[in-house]
A and B are shown apart, each in its own frame.
Chain A
């Protein structure tokens, strides 16, 4: 086992930037996934470490919506913040429904990757990610319910954007095909970057409850991105043929248009200015580019 104080220091909450370049322990990086030390990797990818890492925000995030979890009776309005107009609630529901689709995709994707992982520690990490994604789905569903929706599943289906559903199909087909690197790229880089970009933007103007929920989710996404970036970085470093880099670039060229279409589509449904949607796309582009994978 690694030295706990050192690990705690290295895994202190990281800033909003990328975990850094890939391929090993780098000076100044604060992402524990970057460590090459097997003992440290053992701990970083463990359930025990996950309990420590998520305990606090997990309690805060869930309690933000748990207190109002009771299903609204007889179509009562639930817990709508007083300053939200009916139109604003409708827009928020569309946004939350599409977040839920993203999380459902991430849940199915992460769980599908567990068995494909060759390394027991990677399986363990993906099991924690599976739980994270399920928790995100649960908090978004609870938030939808707290806004007065009696059947959140039907509401999600009704409001899901087709481009996001196509993205979901494409990602899950990569998982089903057993294409580890491509699936992990789509899941832990593309999808996580897309979600993080949107959540970062949304939290700035969100009501308090939604912001607390998003903060917890963002903290998790950071961990998932760190893992994906590190795993793929190592594979790219070991691939002298350049085949993997070409494959990932191909996946990206297939998925990026769906990401952009999802941004545009949802933005238009909620009445966001085109410039805002464009900014989201740019932020997403920058986030993926910063990782330096493709």
Chain B
């Protein structure tokens, strides 16, 4: 076990992260990169970028609270060490996405009010389910919630956003590529470390699967809310692209061309991808995926 944990040492983290894929970046992107004028000069697109970025800040704040909160409950120093690197990663994510809000024109004195205004209540509920386990000092459930469910969701969301931004917003795409690399490491730790703990504590399976189902419920509700507002934004983005003569291009992700997809198609491919990932990763640690309760009225 400790040999596997050596792969998650601070030395490795240093070589891979600050001295690796983040070398030469400023707040996660190349120093000369800026937000595109098409976003900054169009109120619909700017507000959508702010709304989207707020969800990233909310998610990363939850991840920061969870990873730091789990250190004290970690059963061995090597796991504490990994979680310390993750704590720093999550703090960096909060910082770079908060910086993006500033780059999008949110004043320093408006930050908290803006986050409160745009934060999706379903995402807040999602975070609360996880933090309840962290507060209780439940290391196994906390790591599954954090490093499999939350990070698994973030991984796919960031990948999708990166695919969409690659041709249209190099700064944001670069920022996301660093966070994706981080999330990949976090998910890897969750799978490797927790598998053995689940085998040691099979009695915890049912409780953890309940948590996963509840978090999944709030995650899907967040997706549903978010994409409901996306259709109008997509129309505006297409109109702006057409007006400026920018070629629409293609952004294929998991078989769907995001550049021409409807909001409904985007939601379907994102939700499908995340749930498939959950099933795969949970199976690797010896857990079955549990479907969330059907939302009322559906």
Q: Which residues of chain A have a CB within 8 Å of any CB of chain B? A: 38-39, 42, 46-48, 51, 55, 58-59, 62, 66, 69, 104, 107-108, 111-112, 114-115, 120, 123-124, 126-128, 130-131, 133-135, 137-138, 141, 153, 172
3 closest A-B pairs by CB: A134-B84, A127-B91, A114-B68
Counting CB contacts under 8 A, is B72 at the interface? yes
Tell me whether B10 and A153 are in contact (CB under 8 A). no
Chain B, residue nearest A62 (CB): B11
- Report the interface size class on chain B: 20 to 34
Say how far A127's CB is from chain B's closest CB, in angstroms. Answer: 3
Counting CB contacts under 8 A, is B156 at the interface? no
Tell me whether A114 and B87 are in contact (CB under 8 A). yes
Chain B, residue nearest A55 (CB): B18
Contacts of A123 in B (CB 8 A): 64, 91, 94
Chain B, residue nearest A175 (CB): B72
Contacts A51-B18, A134-B84 hold; do A112 and B77 have CB atoms under 8 A apart? no
Q: Report Cα–Cα, A178/B10, bound state, in Å.
A: 28
Contacts of B27 in A (CB 8 A): 48
Tell which of B65, B84, B91 touches A107, judged by Cβ atoms closer than 8 Å. Answer: B84
Tell me whether B84 and A133 are in contact (CB under 8 A). yes
Tell me whether A172 and B10 are in contact (CB under 8 A). no
Chain B, residue nearest A125 (CB): B91
Contacts A127-B88, A153-B76, A153-B77 hold; do A62 and B10 have CB atoms under 8 A apart? yes
Most-contacted residue by chain B among A59, A104, A127 (CB, 10 A): A127
Contacts A48-B26, A48-B27 hold; do A134 and B81 have CB atoms under 8 A apart? yes
Contacts of A141 in B (CB 8 A): 77
Most-contacted residue by chain A among B22, B26, B76, B95 (CB, 10 A): B95
Q: Report Cα–Cα, A133/B68, bound state, in Å.
A: 13
Contacts A48-B27, A114-B87, A124-B91 hold; do A138 and B81 have CB atoms under 8 A apart? yes
Tell me whether A130 and B18 are in contact (CB under 8 A). no
Tell me whether B87 and A130 are in contact (CB under 8 A). yes
Counting CB contacts under 8 A, is B92 at the interface? yes
Contacts of B85 in A (CB 8 A): 131, 134
Counting CB contacts under 8 A, is B14 at the interface? yes
Chain B, residue nearest A152 (CB): B77
Say how far A141's CB is from chain B's closest CB, in angstroms. Answer: 7
Tell me whether A120 and B10 are in contact (CB under 8 A). no
Show 8 A/B contacts (Cβ-Cβ < 8 Å), sorted by A: A46-B95, A107-B71, A111-B84, A120-B98, A134-B84, A138-B9, A138-B10, A141-B77
Tell which of A47, A66, A69 touches B91, judged by Cβ atoms closer than 8 Å. Answer: A47
Say how far A252's CB is from chain B's closest CB, in angstroms. Answer: 24
Tell me whether A114 and B64 are in contact (CB under 8 A). yes
Q: Report Cα–Cα, A172/B65, bound state, in Å.
A: 17
Chain A, residue nearest B6 (CB): A69
Tell me whether B71 and A137 are in contact (CB under 8 A). no
Say how far B2's CB is from chain A's closest CB, in angstroms. Answer: 9
Q: Report Cα–Cα, A66/B68, bound state, in Å.
A: 26
Contacts of B69 in A (CB 8 A): 111-112, 114-115
Tell me whether B95 and A47 are in contact (CB under 8 A). yes
Q: Report Cα–Cα, A135/B13, bound state, in Å.
A: 11
Contacts of B90 in A (CB 8 A): 127
Tell me whether B95 and A111 are in contact (CB under 8 A). no
Give me 6 other A-B pairs in contact (C-beta within 8 A), A126-B68, A128-B91 excluded: A46-B95, A48-B95, A66-B11, A120-B61, A127-B88, A131-B10
Tell me whether B14 and A58 are in contact (CB under 8 A). yes
Q: Report Cα–Cα, A62/B81, bound state, in Å.
A: 14
Tell which of A107, A112, A128 touches B88, judged by Cβ atoms closer than 8 Å. Answer: A128
Contacts of A133 in B (CB 8 A): 84
Counting CB contacts under 8 A, is B271 at the interface? no
Contact indicator per residue, chain B 85-109, by CB within 8 Å of chain A (1) or not (0): 1011011101100100000000010
Contacts of A153 in B (CB 8 A): 76-77
Say how far B77's CB is from chain A's closest CB, in angstroms. Answer: 6
Tell me whether A138 and B91 are in contact (CB under 8 A). no
Chain A, residue nearest B72 (CB): A108
Counting CB contacts under 8 A, is B80 at the interface? yes
